Amino acid sequence: MRSLAATAAFALQTPAAETRRDEAIDLRLQRLCALLGIAGARLSSIAADISIVVAAAGADADLAALEARAIAAGRPLVIADAGQYPRFYVGIVLPAHDDRPAQLLSLFDPRPRSAMMATTLAALAGEVLARAAITQQRRQIESQSRAIADYAALEEHRRNLFDRASATARIGIWQCNLSDSSLIWTNGVYDLFEIPRNTPVTREMTLALYTEKSRLEMEAARARAIATCTDFALNCEIITTSGKRRWMRLTGAVESRDGLAHRIFGMKQDITEEKLLADRTRYLAEFDVMTGLANRSLFQARLAALDEGRGNIDALLLVDLDGFKQVNDTYGHALGDECLKEAALRLLESCSGAELVARIGGDEFAVLLNDAGSPDDVEHLAETIVRVMRRPVTRLGQTLSLGASVGVAHYRGGSSEQLFRHADIALYAAKAAGRATSRTFAA
């Protein structure tokens, strides 16, 4: 058994003459080790070519099967939704080298991880191990170069092996000469943008494929790097020549001469699947799946920002549906769910300028207001919510009457807990007054 740090270091051993890019990968490796801690690792002799598998495996995962899939995979294999608390597994097949047989390096962390952490670890390990594969291929080429007399054949051999390794990790290498803005791409970059390989490309052509927001962010990061002769990295959204939206991780390093930037080179990696998974995980963590409104967790986070001096909230409205329990008891939960969806739509319609509209319980909703205007404006909004919620609801062939009680609290300093308690007191007063009305807390 080896520690993760020792095993990963085995895959990434580099001589002192390696470039700054390897030092950057070492930093990523250190971050990966810090996140994973110490984990079991083992080496087994397997005859296969290079491939990489990154998997967040469920608790009942068959590691032998994962290793078999690592060998058989012709492209990166990512299993990111294999249970609520997945374990973490990474495998990379290293080809035979000199007198050493081909080997499978596998890293395994048995501790359960959240889906978001598994995604983060998979992305980080994928990048580290992909670069390890490229480094391994580069050294193999260098050792073979003495036996290949013809320079053209060596270059072709070098390019083929590099393309195989970078394609496995969906990575392309790019270079821009700053004197004339000329570009050099490897096949991976052409494939990412869906531009035919070896097509002459210009910066103008490439920039047109970025979304406006990503283009502005990328140009700003690039300008800073050129001015300071430093590196940069960011995630960008592009639209390929066939109209597909993709996300890529863009890294760049500036080469300087006498303190002046001369050339930029770096890596572009397709991270679309990783980004979509992260967005979906974030959505599930912050939004109510049924109504599409913010959930209680996000509401509490926004409310708690007041206590940290980051929030700017004028008022809080708590909304409770009247008669909802009777709908569930009489017509069933299916129709009850439809009523909740309709209530959410009406709240969004009434509170279009709100800072946040959230579902915080079964039939309970909350509205946070910022720049809400005068106290009279807030109370008028509460009355509007009561009036809108009173309209009949027609869903699943049934027409029902609902209503809503609203409690209002204006923020005049104090804690978020006080603000919520004041709104709750006002809501209780509205229900005590006969429901389907609103009340405002008064100290």
List, in order, residues 6 or more apart from 2 with CB less than 8 Å away. 10, 41, 42
pLDDT tens digit string along 317-367? 999 998 888 888 888 888 888 989 999 999 999 998 899 999 998 899 999
Beta-strand pair 77-79/51-57: parallel
Q: CB–CB of 395/335 below 8 Å?
A: yes
For the purposes of burial, counting CB atoms within 10 Å of the CB of 37, is it exposed (0-12), middle (13-18) or buried (19 or more)?
A: exposed
Distances 251 to 11, 28, 217, 265 between C-alpha atoms, Å? 22, 13, 13, 8
Q: When comparing pLDDT for 259 and 410, which is higher? A: 410
Tokens of 196: 């035919």
Which string of DSSP letters, residue by residue, matches 260-302? EEEEEEEEEEE-HHHHHHHHHHHHHHHB-TTT-SB-HHHHHHH
Question: How far apart (Å, rounded) are the C-alpha atoms in residues 169 and 103?
Answer: 19
Intervals of CATH 3.30.70.270 along the chain: 287-440
Q: What average pLDDT score do residues 393-406 get? A: 85
Q: Is residue 250's pLDDT more than 80?
A: yes
Question: How far apart (Å, rounded) are the C-alpha atoms in residues 298 and 344?
Answer: 16
Per-residue pLDDT band for 43 (boundaries 50, 70, 90) equals very low
> What superfamily would CATH give domain 287-440?
Reverse transcriptase/Diguanylate cyclase domain (3.30.70.270)
The DSSP output letter for 147 is G
Q: CB–CB of 217/252 below 8 Å?
A: no
pLDDT tens digit string along 84-135? 445 555 555 555 556 655 555 555 555 555 655 655 665 666 565 555 555 5
Q: Is residue 434's pLDDT more than 80?
A: yes
Q: Which of 420, 418, 345, 426 shows the shortest CA–CA distance to 379?
A: 426
Q: What percent of the chain has pLDDT over 70?
A: 62
Distances 28 to 169, 422, 439 between C-alpha atoms, Å? 16, 48, 55
Q: CB–CB of 39/105 below 8 Å?
A: no
State the maximum Cα–Cα separation within the chain, in Å, rounded to a whole number.
Answer: 94
Intervals of CATH 3.30.450.20 along the chain: 170-276
Model-wide pTM > 0.85: no
Question: How far apart (Å, rounded) are the C-alpha atoms in residues 123 and 235?
Answer: 13
Q: CB–CB of 183/173 below 8 Å?
A: no
Tokens of 123: 């992305």
> Chain-centre distance of CA 379, in angstroms?
39
At residue 293, the pLDDT reads 93
Strand partners, 439: 407
CATH class label, 170-276:
alpha beta
